[in-house]
Amino acid sequence: MFSGISASHGIGIGSICVIEEHDLHYDTAKIEDVAAEKKRFEDAVEQFKKETAEMAEDIRKRIGPKEAEILESHLLMIDDPTMSGEMQKLIEAGQCSESAVEAVCDMFIGMFSQMEDEFMQQRAADIKDIKVSLLKILLAVEDVDISKVPPGTILVAKDLTPSMTSQIRKENVAGIITEVGGKTSHSAILARALEIPAVLSVPKITEVVKNKDTAIVDGTEGIVYIKPEGDILSQYIIKREDFIKKQAELKDFFGKETTTADGIKPELFCNIGTPKDARKVIECDGEGVGLFRSEFLFMDNAVMPTEEEQFNAYKEAAEIMGKKALIIRTLDIGGDKDIPYLHMKKEENPFLGYRAVRYCLGNQEVFRTQLCAILRASAFGKVKIMLPLVSCVEELRAAKELISEIKVDLEQNGMSYDRNIEVGCMIETPSASLIADILAKESDFFSIGTNDLTQYTMTVDRGNADVSYLYSTFHPSVLRSVKHIIDSGKAAGIPVGMCGEAASDPLFIPLLLSFGLNEFSVNPALVLATRCVISKWTKTEADALSEKVMSLSTEAEIVAVLKEAVKE
Ligand code: PEP
Ligand code: MG
């Protein structure tokens, strides 16, 4: 068994076809006839543009406009004077076309790959793709025609470039395995759009497989089996059938209302990290954003984002969401999330230290700038403010006081904002849970952060594998805490959501329905699955199950009962 990154869900079983990397060596001797060499280069660029435009058009028709943009961007890049212009200059200076292409592309690849930003790193992969395509044209190298591989093929390659991926026919390719690439690489995006299971970043896989070997690609778990044993193969054949059936069932939930079998209608929101993710929420049929982790905006920058930059980001997300809610969580920094330019002190116990709302209240300039940007963006949508890691009511009061002061400033400067903007608390510390009734009197809403609530309730570092056996949302203490928070919200008449991972757990969902959770906030990719699970339960059934579960003493007993009751 080999492990890699789960890049596109599903299970593929088939026969391997290895895409070999070509030898792209060339003669570097200085050229004599510059005019002829320039013509050779221009012809190659023309051929590249023609082939790329055809592939982009084909993708646009078969997959969609968004996916076609990846290859269209290659056309823009090659036409950029800093690309083809610089290559021409090198040829005029006597270099052959191959060496000019390689030198200019390598310069850009080096520049982009040094940048931290994943988007910029992807630019480096794009330019590598352009370089290899141009060199293949110049050296007249023939590629395996991926569009002609037989049905049931598992493609294995060091890297699958967008131009290679674009030739894939969904009906023939059962799975993809590569040695490089992450969840957000273009090959991952295309594999997901084509719904082909893919596992990327499997070290040295091209060295251990042969053409025609049988393989299993488990894109959901990120694992690969080469020449699997008979019993593994038969288990996976069943798993694959179940997955296909489930996917077809989930598609029926697109555009449907979120409702239990007996008509209780909780909201089904999503968790996002960037304004662009708001588009995913719409594409995945999410009903709002229950958690915008604003710290990514700060972590992706080398310097503190200005008020204007933040305003533009929040406004972009608010406009994409339109009338749907956008709950922006204020900077949740510290713990395991460091931002170098904030020069935060090293702490003995960072998870128990100066983080999240504690840091923001102690660094009012940072907090004020962010709150001001959020308030200004509230004029463009249904924005709400959420405070992370609240542990006492004084923190909520201090933040609300600051928000009131900023509102006065905005008013005086004639700037628009939502005067009735809601301010809520994340409930993710045991202290906040225990005083949920007090906090509820002064909060507009709650959202339960089970990721942290579990870690603090169980006193278990959520990233420490040695104690992970204790990290469970199903521990009776965590369940009691969650129930108490929802009861407190209900008693005060405020809505309670959940944005921790537990909100999409099929075992946890019936308990949340029984407790009366108002809003589930999940990863956009899990909207339909969550809606499907919710649809299978009635309140009466969920109540009977939760009554039984809440009477049990151990996590193991609880999980066993829930597994028995789960509705697939
Ligand atoms: C949580 O703690 O449950 C949560 C949603 O926040 P984060 O995972 O960002 O800490
Ligand atoms: Mg948290």
Looking at the DSSP bridge assignments, the partners of residue 267 are: 519
Atom 8 of ligand 1, residue of closest alpha carbon: 451
Closest among 226, 212, 218, 213 to 200, alpha carbons compared: 218
Entry pTM? 0.72
| CA of 499, closest atom in ligand 1 | 5
Q: Counting atoms of ligand 1 from 1, which one is nearest the CA of 455?
A: 2
- Spell out which residues line ligand 1, taking CB within 6 angstroms: 291, 293, 332, 428, 449-452, 499-500
Provide the H-helix boundaries in 63-96.
Answer: 65-79, 86-92
CA distance 403 to 54: 54
Phi first, then psi: what are they for 492, rounded to 5°? Answer: -90, -5
Nearest atom, ligand 1, residue 291 CA: 5
Return the SS3 of 32.
Answer: coil
Structure-block tokens of residue 367: 């907090």
What DSSP string runs through 213-282? Answer: -EEEEETTTTEEEES--HHHHHHHHHHHHHHHHHHHHHHTTTTPPP--TTS---EEEEEESSTTHHHHHH
The per-residue pLDDT for 476 is 98
Q: What is the pLDDT of residue 368?
A: 98
Provide the pLDDT for residue 118. 67
Q: Ligand 1: which residue has its CA nearest to atom 9? A: 293
CA-nearest residue for atom 7, ligand 1, is 451
Which residues lie across from 325 on neighbouring strands? 382
Q: What is the pLDDT of residue 129?
A: 87
Angstrom distances, CA of residue 123 to CA of 21, 105, 111: 21, 11, 10
Q: What is the DSSP letter of 82?
A: I
Among residues 186, 270, 475, 532, which one is catalytic?
Answer: 186
Three-class SS state of 351: helix
pLDDT of the chain, 568 residues: tens digit per residue: 999 988 898 999 999 999 987 778 888 888 889 999 999 999 999 999 999 999 888 888 888 787 888 888 899 999 888 888 999 999 999 999 999 999 999 999 988 888 766 677 778 888 988 998 999 999 988 777 888 899 999 999 988 877 787 788 889 999 999 998 877 677 787 788 888 999 999 999 999 999 999 999 999 889 999 999 999 999 999 999 999 998 889 999 999 999 999 999 999 999 999 898 899 999 999 999 999 999 989 987 889 999 999 999 999 999 999 999 999 999 999 887 888 899 888 898 999 999 999 999 999 999 999 999 999 999 999 999 999 999 999 999 999 999 999 999 999 999 999 999 999 999 999 999 999 999 999 999 999 999 999 999 999 987 777 888 999 999 999 999 999 999 999 999 999 999 999 999 999 999 999 999 999 999 898 999 999 999 999 999 999 999 999 999 999 999 999 999 997 6
Q: Give residue 412's pLDDT.
A: 97
| Cα(213) to centroid(ligand 1), Å | 42
Q: Verify whether residue 499 is a known catalytic residue.
A: yes
At 116 the pLDDT is 67
Structure tokens at 384: 């709400």
Taking a C-beta distance cutoff of 8 angstroms, is the pair 2, 202 a contact?
yes
| Residue whose CB lies within 8 A of the most ligand 1 atoms, among 452, 456, 473, for a mutation test | 452
- Check if 484 is active-site: no
What is the SS3 string spanning 417-481? CCCCCEEEEEECCHHHHHCHHHHHHHCCCEEECHHHHHHHHHCCCCCCHHHHHHCCCCCHHHHHH
